[in-house]
Amino acid sequence: GENVEQHPSTLSVQEGDSAVIKCTYSDSASNYFPWYKQELGKGPQLIIDIRSNVGEKKDQRIAVTLNKTAKHFSLHITETQPEDSAVYFCAATLNTGFQKLVFGTGTRLLVSP
Amino acid sequence: DAGVTQSPTHLIKTRGQQVTLRCSPKSGHDTVSWYQQALGQGPQFIFQYYEEEERQRGNFPDRFSGHQFPNYSSELNVNALLLGDSALYLCASSQSGQAYNSPLHFGNGTRLTVT
């Protein structure tokens, strides 16, 4: 079955710096890769996703890149702000219509003013 | 437009008891999935319901069961509770019938504590 590894487990940056979180998946058949942000006491919130037919996707300060050959995908946050502080999860799944997300273990991002 | 709502928000149970958690999907969504999130971990897939049937299941014992109602809302039942069942239980909804995966929208979860 699918396995997703996520690094680093914690990341501390200064406001305005960039942050990069990396994930590796095991099942080469996976073709949908969402990223979720989870704030304390809340459920995960989808922030961006990418499908395997695309190498990069950007939405304002957030971007995701996908390397299918290496089975790597990464989240890039530029110009970080204190409100970006949260736990971020990557996930992978097959496009079977019966979506079953396999999540990474999460990255706690702390953005200091 | 209400998002995914879950009840109750917190619950304390004793070992051996049974618990029922409830979920109402986002408006327009017809598929409900349940995830278990242990402290400090990523969510783990329990099962998914569509058209009132369980159509996919993760590696969870039969003590975990569910139901989906005609209005698409769902319940998660856990029997014979163990201490290890203490976790945040997340409900996620999505829309079926699309060529690609419909993004999952999560509720804020039910925090279950088993003592």
Model confidence pLDDT, tens digit, residues A43-88: 999 999 998 888 999 999 999 999 999 999 999 999 999 999 999 9
pLDDT at position B103 is 85
| Cβ separation B56–A100 shorter than 8 A | yes
**Which residues make Cβ contacts (< 8 Å) with residue A75, sequence separation at least 6?**
A19, A20, A21, A23, A35, A48, A62, A63, A64, A88, A90
- Nearest-CA residue of chain A relative to B56? A98
Averaged confidence pLDDT in chain B: 93
Beta carbons of A99 and B109 less than 8 Å apart: no
Pure H helices in A5-111: none
Choose from A24, A42, A99 for mutation: most chain B CBs within 10 A: A99
- Chain A residue with the nearest C-alpha to that of B95: A97
Residue B101 backbone dihedrals phi, psi, to 5 degrees: -55, 130
Q: Is the pLDDT of residue A38 over 70?
A: yes
Q: Residue A46 and residue B94: Cβ atoms within 8 Å?
A: no
Asked whether the beta carbons of A47 and A110 are under 8 A apart, the reply is no
Percent of chain A with pLDDT over 70: 96
Considering CB atoms only, which of B31, B42, B94 is closest to A105? B42
A97 pLDDT band, cuts 50/70/90, is: low
Q: Is the pLDDT of residue B84 over 80?
A: yes
Sign, Cα dihedral of B20, B26, B30, B33 = negative
Q: Which of B40, B43, B96 lies at the smallest CB-CB distance from A103?
A: B43
